[in-house]
């Protein structure tokens, strides 16, 4: 097993870390503003199903980086789906 970490590896880790947190600004904005009218529910349903596929893929590959990063994105996607329903009937001020 190679333990040498190249600059390209580090770039991959940075990109992966950013990917994991992509949905966070949307979650924070929605929690703050309690308004979801313009948000696509379908986008986050697709994302959630997709993360489950990635987690299964990571499990088959025994790849904990894939499993854990996609588990974070799954949590954020499920949070957005919850918020979409929770605030569905509310008007923003």
Residue placing its CB nearer to a copy of itself in the complex, 29 or 82: 29
Shortest distance, position 3 Cβ to a copy of itself, whole Å: 19
Binding residue (CB under 8 A) for a copy of itself from 1, 3, 4, 60: 60
**Residue 33 interacts with a copy of itself (CB under 8 A)?**
yes
In contact, 80 and 30? CB cutoff 8 Å: yes
Buried b (16+ CB within 10 A) or exposed e, 18-31: eebeebeebbeebe
**Residue 14 interacts with a copy of itself (CB under 8 A)?**
yes
In contact, 74 and 52? CB cutoff 8 Å: yes
**Residue 38 interacts with a copy of itself (CB under 8 A)?**
yes
Binding residue (CB under 8 A) for a copy of itself from 42, 89, 91, 93: 42
In contact, 27 and 84? CB cutoff 8 Å: no
């Amino acid at each position: 097993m190679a333990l040498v970490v190249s600059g390209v590896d580090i770039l991959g880790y940075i990109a992966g870390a950013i990917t994991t947190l992509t949905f966070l600004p949307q979650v924070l904005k929605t929690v703050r503003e309690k308004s979801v009218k313009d948000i696509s529910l379908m986008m986050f349903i697709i994302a959630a199903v997709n993360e489950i596929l990635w987690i299964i893929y990571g499990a088959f590959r025994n790849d904990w980086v894939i499993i854990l990063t996609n588990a974070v994105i799954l949590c954020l996607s499920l949070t957005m789906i919850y918020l979409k329903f929770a605030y569905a009937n509310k008007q923003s001020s």
